[in-house]
Structure 1
Amino acid sequence: MKKSKLFLFSILLTAMALFLAACGGNDGADGDSNEGGDSPSAISMLTGGTSGTYYPLGGEMAKIISDETGIQTDALSSNASADNVISLQNEEAELAFVQTDVVAFAEQGINAFDGNPVDNVLAIGSLYPETIQIVTTQDSGIESVEDLAGKTVSVGAPGSGTYVNAEQLLEVHGMTMDDIDAQHLDFGESTGGIQDGNIDAAFITAGTPTGAVEGLGATADIKIVAIEQDKIDALIEEYPYYAQDTIAAGTYAGQEQDIATVAVGAMLAVTESLSEDTVYEITKAIYDNAESITHAKGEFISPEAGVEGIGIDFHPGAEKYFKEAGVLE
């Protein structure tokens, strides 16, 4: 009888051990490890305001990811780059559109991230140039950056990518935010304010054509202020993440000439907690299907361009994709 009880007890202990091992074996298989694991069933992609470029483009990309990987991907409007990085840092979302300069600031712990460096956000890849546009109207009398002095100008939220771009452009023109009446508005509010006569001009950093600027052009004669070549050269020398850019004639209603300006890069960033396999599949879905994107900025998205202008480390999953594509060593 005692042997029978001991035998049954032994079986019970073995069963419990197997059960605990099985439970423990699920650790790391839920997509929280960069070494692999199961894909999540759903993820969030942070974009930007509904009147910018991130939101409509993000909607198309989210559908591609959903269709190609089976991971339900939801594109959500947000306050764009700086807030998006913080949300990724806090693991409140998995993917986000960001400016290349802003995410570099985040890693360095400067500007909006002063004292709060971000070390858990990695790159998927570059997407397209984000053009710095100084928008006003033909009858505003503003012909140059210097003419913004004393004017009411929207510069974006403090610490945002647009704000930093405005601050640095003013700097190379010998100006500061104190020289203007700075207003912190999003793109839609900025162009609405110009239309209503409440502000004189607005800095807008976004892919062209930008929906908010197109909307303004439907009701007002808009003007995009050009940046002089010597100031472009000075800006790039001081801040190498800028590149010279041109807003081609005809981009907006009534724009008859090319406009010289500068651009930074738009990119996709990801929280490092997503597995290598998951990020590989996401990266492959985006870049292998870029030709199906109908948004105007889709033409810039390619594996070759995806590795350009990245100032932070790639996620291992993205790195794997770009190496297989032969564009990264």
Structure 2
Amino acid sequence: MKKKSFVMSMILLLSISMVLAACGGKEGGKTEKASGDGKGGKPKFVSILTGGTGGTYFPLGGSFAKIITDETGIKSNAETTGASAENMQSLKDGNGEIAFTQTDIASYAKEGEEMFKGSKVDNVKAIGTLYPETIQLVTTEKSGIKKMSDLKGKKVSVGAPGSGTVANAQQILEVYGMKFDDIKKQDLSFDESVDGLQNGVIDAAFVTAGTPTGAVEQMTATEKVVIVPIEADKAEKLIKKYPYYTIDKVPAGVYKLNKEVPTVAVQAMLVARGDMSEQAVYDITKALFENLDQITHAKGKLIKPENALNGVGIDVHPGAQKYFDEKGIKASK
């Protein structure tokens, strides 16, 4: 009888232990997902949130995913998204580990401004800036649009909802004394904008992306592409009010342009969830910045580790900072 009682007691204790272990596993699930597999904080998989297939983020994200997979052993893939603003919100919500964003959008998210009013994003940190994100107001020769004031009353795409392009379009129109009410605003992605321009559904489209932008480049097969200039005085006015902009240009030859077109740019940046382990982000940062020769997109040539801390605007992830410290890289003043 005593033996039977002892066995029953052991079974009961074992059952209780299993329940407690299961509960502990559930409580620790989020930490394990964010920090890794418990072996040096190395996750088994990371998702890179990019943008539309016609932009620059997506093809670059594909190259980044391959480098991360090959060099760190962490499986990775690139996901199409609505780009910058959507990506910051997705990381806040835990849907993804790494993302592309514009420096201006990251700053809005951190401060709870613009599209992030009342919804600050405080769990995202920078890996590093990458290259200029050129603001391109794209139209066609047949539209007759040659300058910003020609946009009044026209059907103009200002970018996909949730993208940083929307804020860029609004701010640029502002320095020209215009608002969205002055145009027939269309909320289209890069690819949708190109289709709209080619089919005559829209007259012009704001595109914020590295040049050459795939979707715009494809237009040259059937249309004579026109990039509307942002004049120097307007660019200076814009930069004075919104310091994250810089002077830029679309070079001659790109999109078969006969001459370069003056414009402005923000910076593209790679960010990570703040709860990713220091070791994982260090490994990823090292892999990316030491294998830039594997990037086939033209923008890969502009990505340099020595420039990666310039203009980030938000806190740098400790893992990325460790890599830059080892290399003696600091932000330029």
TM-score, length-normalised on structure 1?
A: 0.90
Distance in 2 (alpha carbons) for counterparts of 1:313 and 1:251: 35
Cα shift at 1:138: 1.1
Corresponding residue for 2:288? Answer: 286
Alignment of 1:2-151 (within 5 A): 30=32, 32-33=34-35, 37-151=40-154
Distance in 2 (alpha carbons) for counterparts of 1:303 and 1:145: 36
Match of 1:223 among 226, 235, 242: 226
Cα shift at 1:139: 2.2
Cα shift at 1:157: 2.9
Runs of 5+ unmatched residues, structure 1: none
What one-letter code is carried by the residue in structure 2 that aligns with 1:318? A
Could you tell me whether the CA contact under 8 Å between 2:104 and 2:244 is conserved in 1? Answer: yes
Corresponding residue for 1:264? Answer: 266
Cα shift at 1:39: 0.7
Change (3 A) 1:40 1:33: closer
Could you tell me whether the CA contact under 8 Å between 2:35 and 2:43 is conserved in 1? Answer: no
Corresponding residue for 1:315? Answer: 317
SS in 2 for 1:124: strand
RMSD: 2.8
Could you tell me whether the CA contact under 8 Å between 2:161 and 2:188 is conserved in 1? Answer: no
Match of 1:273 among 262, 272, 275: 275
**Large movers: runs of 4+ above 2 Å:** 23-38, 157-160
- Superposed CA deviations along residues 4-51 of structure 1, whole A, max 9, x for unmatched, are xx9xx9xxx9xx99xx99x98996983645998431111111111111
Corresponding residue for 1:246? Answer: 249
SS in 2 for 1:143: coil
What one-letter code is carried by the residue in structure 1 that aligns with 2:142? D
Cα shift at 1:325: 1.1
- Superposed CA deviations along residues 103-137 of structure 1, whole A, max 9, x for unmatched, are 11001111111110110011111111100000011
Distance in 1 (alpha carbons) for counterparts of 2:39 and 2:119: 29
Distance in 1 (alpha carbons) for counterparts of 2:295 and 2:195: 29
Change (3 A) 1:178 1:320: same
SS in 2 for 1:224: strand
1:161 has 2:173 as partner = no
Match of 1:183 among 179, 186, 198: 186
Cα shift at 1:298: 0.5
- Superposed CA deviations along residues 174-220 of structure 1, whole A, max 9, x for unmatched, are 00000000000001110111110111000000000001101111111
What one-letter code is carried by the residue in structure 2 that aligns with 1:30? E
- Superposed CA deviations along residues 281-310 of structure 1, whole A, max 9, x for unmatched, are 000010011122111010111211111110
What one-letter code is carried by the residue in structure 1 that aligns with 2:103? T
Runs of 5+ unmatched residues, structure 2: none
Distance in 2 (alpha carbons) for counterparts of 1:284 and 1:150: 49
